[in-house]
Structure 1
Amino acid sequence: MMRRVLPFVASLFMATPLASSINKSMAGGVRTEANSVSAKQMQVAFYEQDLQNLYHALNVEQQGLHYDVFEKAMTGYLNLKQDNKLGDKQLLTVVDFSLPSTEKRLWVLDLANKQVLFHTLVAHGHNSGENVATNFSNENESNMSSLGFYVTDSEYMGKHGRSLKLNGLDLGYNDNALMRSVVMHGADYVSEDFIRQNGRLGRSLGCPALPMDQYAQIIDTVNGGTCLFINGQSPTYSSNYLNTEVAMAAYLGGTQSI
């Protein structure tokens, strides 16, 4: 750990006013303050470097998952872990609705083994937009997608066949998901053939609908209390689970290694 972190700490430390302060005075108070700040810098550098390492190990940049979206998703995942809201599976599902529906914009990440289990198409809500989702809602019958952090709930058989309930945790953004029946399910309008014929995917009533040839495997994999993060272009979205200090505490405390 020290070999990985010290170069970062050294560069950060030399760039701060503390370096010049120590040159001016070796008083005990100055030395104590410097040691305290440098320890904090070491923690930040270690956490941020490991997050970057995980991103590169997963090789998701080449698949179109931007680092800022990945970082937000991981921050929420660690917050939920710290809050004991997730099960034992170390899985993170990321949906990026800032990308067009013609691109594969869903990833299921195995954080323990640093593997991408699924990378596939996913539909957004009918009233969220055409090829790109630009509008989001938490309201019933809005037929829009809802942004934020979810925890996968139980399965059931509905009008779309086998489906997976999603428990939205962001108050005011997606906490009506269960009431709205926003679920994971398969749909024949989520396919490359549909894109070729229509120039975009079909759209759901707000559900993150999946390809028919993969939805069952994805449900099998992510059920049982795993984290789902739906990202989108919204200047107003905020979440209590995007707390970096809590994420670092979860990581440094051993709740989750990355």
Structure 2
Amino acid sequence: MVASHVAGVSRRELLRTGSVVAAGAIAGPALAGGQLQALAMFQGPVQSPNQRAATVRATPVSPVTIRPDLFRRALAALQRHQSQVVLRDRIALVDFDLPSSKPRFHVVDLASGRSRSLLVSHGRGSDPEHSGWLSRFSNDVGSAASSSGAFVTGDVYVGQHGRSRRLVGLDRTNDNAEPRAIVVHSAWYVSPEMVAQHGKLGRSEGCFAVSTAELEYTLQTLGAGRMIYADKV
């Protein structure tokens, strides 16, 4: 439950990492033909295969596992931050209206509409009584709380929690994510067994802590240059 620490990596460097990883995927054949047609379920007209600034529809269809209001907010954030979120084929949404005992970290494939839901912790500063429910957000350094808003994923590094993925906060509600070392990592206190024994997960220092069993799936599926959106609706 100790906060992850990131050695001095700037916002510009993290975004550059995502941009380099994403450049081939956006400009290449990955968004050609059938995939562009599939993405049209969630986006407006695409002027060319190389253009990232597609317009998200005002009334998208939410996967059945995700509340429509949260999904619409996430897609609005994806549109708002399109210049910084260079890969927009998949996103993750964290529904902090749900308790930590429920799978509330939703990884969504926007082309197919399929989603997978995982357990994820919230910060101890957001749940000081350890009730299992997030009661408040904070962007303050030292708060040990979860922050709301859109994050863009950076590179993978090995830190005190093992393999972890850096995050950059894109909104005023989470733009201290880098100095706070808010990242995605695994933790022993996140697992179905923990829920079965205690009825809730342990708490992080504000990081998105997933189970050890789900870490590699999370790191590889999101990659660098994609969005994680966290909120209460």
> Could you tell me the TM-score, scaled by structure 2's length?
0.71
In structure 2, what residue type is equivalent to 1:127? Answer: G
2:125 alignment partner, SS class: helix
Q: Say whether residues 1:47 and 2:54 are aligned partners.
A: no
Structure label with greater radius of gyration: 1
Measure, in 2, the Cα distance between the counterparts of 1:160 and 1:215: 11
Following superposition, the deviation at residue 114 of structure 1 comes to 2.3
Higher mean C-alpha deviation, range 174-183 or range 224-233: 224-233
User: Any residues of structure 2 matched to 1:68-79 within 5 Å, and which?
Assistant: 68-79=69-80
Contact 1:134–1:232 under 8 Å retained in 2: no
The residue that corresponds to 1:66 in the other structure is 67
Measure, in 2, the Cα distance between the counterparts of 1:165 and 1:48: 30
The residue that corresponds to 2:90 in the other structure is 91
Structure 1, residues 6-56: CA drift from partner, whole Å, max 9, x if none? xxxxxxxxxxxxxxxxxxxxxxxxxxxxxxxxxxxxxxxx9345x13xx2x
Structure 1, residues 154-181: CA drift from partner, whole Å, max 9, x if none? 111110000001100112x110101111
Q: Relative CO higher for 1 or 2, CA cutoff 8 Å, sep ≥ 6?
A: 2
Q: Say whether residues 1:105 and 2:115 are aligned partners.
A: no
| Distance change >3 Å, CA 89–CA 47, structure 1 → 2 | closer
1:214 alignment partner, SS class: helix
Structure 1, residues 84-122: CA drift from partner, whole Å, max 9, x if none? 212235111100111111111011111123222x31110
How many residues get paired?
A: 175
Following superposition, the deviation at residue 188 of structure 1 comes to 1.4
1:190 alignment partner, SS class: coil
User: Any residues of structure 2 matched to 1:1-258 within 5 Å, and which?
Assistant: 47-49=57-59, 51-52=60-61, 55=62, 60-61=63-64, 63=65, 65-81=66-82, 84-116=83-115, 118-129=116-127, 130-171=131-172, 173-232=173-232
Task: Give ranges in structure 1 of 5+ residues lacking alignment.
Answer: 1-45, 234-258
Give 1 or 2: higher helix fraction: 1
In structure 1, what residue type is equivalent to 2:112? Answer: N
Measure, in 2, the Cα distance between the counterparts of 1:196 and 1:111: 32
Percent of aligned pairs with the same residue? 34
Measured on the aligned residues, the alpha-carbon RMSD in Å equals 1.6
Contact 1:185–1:215 under 8 Å retained in 2: yes
Measure, in 2, the Cα distance between the counterparts of 1:214 and 1:170: 27
Contact 1:164–1:183 under 8 Å retained in 2: yes
Measure, in 2, the Cα distance between the counterparts of 1:115 and 1:87: 20
Structure 1 stretches of 4+ moved >6 Å: none
Task: Give ranges in structure 2 of 5+ residues lacking alignment.
Answer: 1-55
In structure 2, what residue type is equivalent to 1:148? Answer: G
In structure 2, what residue type is equivalent to 1:193? Answer: E
Measure, in 1, the Cα distance between the counterparts of 2:89 and 2:158: 26
